[in-house]
Chain A
């Protein structure tokens, strides 16, 4: 209704339609639609997919590799748009998300839905036609998993929402790998598991100092439902599983000594921070904030070193030989 008030003059029979919200002209700009793609999440997805693509055995033409990353990026954007369409009601009451285009009224829910579905269709079909259908099927499943399993089902119904839903964010390196090989093996599954077990301590550290935000929105995050102490326990337990998984690529011979060194050192820091989170009690939130911030650096470093060591290192070795 806000659009009519802001200036659009509807006349005749269309004015009646506008009362039903059927014929109001949109003020949405291109930047609003770009915001629907969640560009920051998209950049992380592209980065992890690039690592999967670079460490996979075999050769992919640079243009094909670019096409694969473009399709994965657009698919991730489609997931973001579908998420913002469905979650507009809770986005509106959370400080962190209240300025998104749909709750702000700049993009209507139907527009976000159509945008998300269109991009999802185009990204999967283009991926399948130009790269391979195994990777395209994995991308389609990832979009479905994030939009339907996580956003529509788990997020509002269980405190395990980000544990299971975190799989959606862990799929991109597998998609990148499948883009090159057309199949999967233990190594991409390991890359998946690292992100899968990284997601809970990362988001629960955030949720520990944003509990009121989630409670107000009615999102059953672990600190809201199970309490602060249980959440701190879970952060520590998941970190205890995560750190060995982070070292595993080196132990199994998939990564070199530089990766091994970085994984051990950053893993030790993650454990230390998790112990600090475990021992901290509200209203103190410094340890949780440190854990949240460092967990981003931790994941980035693991994947960046793997990319340099296996991806670029392998490329230089191939060029030199």
Chain B
């Protein structure tokens, strides 16, 4: 009977437009960085061949 979802007392964090824009730009930057990391490992695998993980210590 006291469900916060139903009575609207606990809606969580309500972001402002500025905060939504900032979060979106951060999310895109993280996606780009992860994508670049994947591409880097892919290209380096082509460069190094199958021995890519056999590095000198």
Chain A positions near chain B (C-beta within 8 angstroms): 6-14, 23, 25-30, 33, 61, 63-64, 67, 70, 122, 126, 128-134, 182
Contacts and interface: CB of A to CB of B under 8 A. Distances in A.
23 contacts: A7-B16, A8-B13, A8-B15, A9-B14, A10-B14, A12-B10, A12-B12, A13-B10, A25-B15, A26-B23, A27-B19, A27-B22, A30-B25, A33-B26, A33-B29, A70-B40, A128-B55, A130-B40, A130-B48, A132-B56, A133-B56, A134-B56, A182-B56
A133 B57 contact: yes
Contacts of B3: none
Nearest to B57: A133
Contact of B19 (A8, A14, A70, A134): A8
Contact of B13 (A14, A33, A70, A126): A14
> Which 7 A/B pairs are nearest by Cβ-Cβ distance?
A12-B10, A7-B16, A30-B29, A25-B19, A9-B14, A130-B44, A63-B47
B9 interface: yes
Nearest to A106: B22
B10 A11 contact: yes
Interface in B4-49: 4, 9-16, 18-19, 22-23, 25-26, 28-29, 37, 40-41, 43-44, 47-48
A12 B4 contact: yes
A6 B22 CA distance: 14
Contacts of B28: 30
A64 B15 CA distance: 43
Nearest to B25: A30
A30 B44 contact: no
B43 A134 contact: no
Chain B, interface size category, equals 20 to 34
B44 to A, nearest CB: 5
A1 to B, nearest CB: 15
Contact of A12 (B11, B18, B29, B57): B11
Contact of B26 (A14, A28, A122, A128): A28
B44 A64 contact: yes
A294 B52 CA distance: 44
Nearest to B45: A130
A29 B30 CA distance: 12
B53 interface: yes
A63 B22 contact: no
Contacts of A33: 26, 29
A175 B31 CA distance: 29
A160 B26 CA distance: 39
B10 A7 contact: no
Contact of A7 (B18, B52, B57): B18
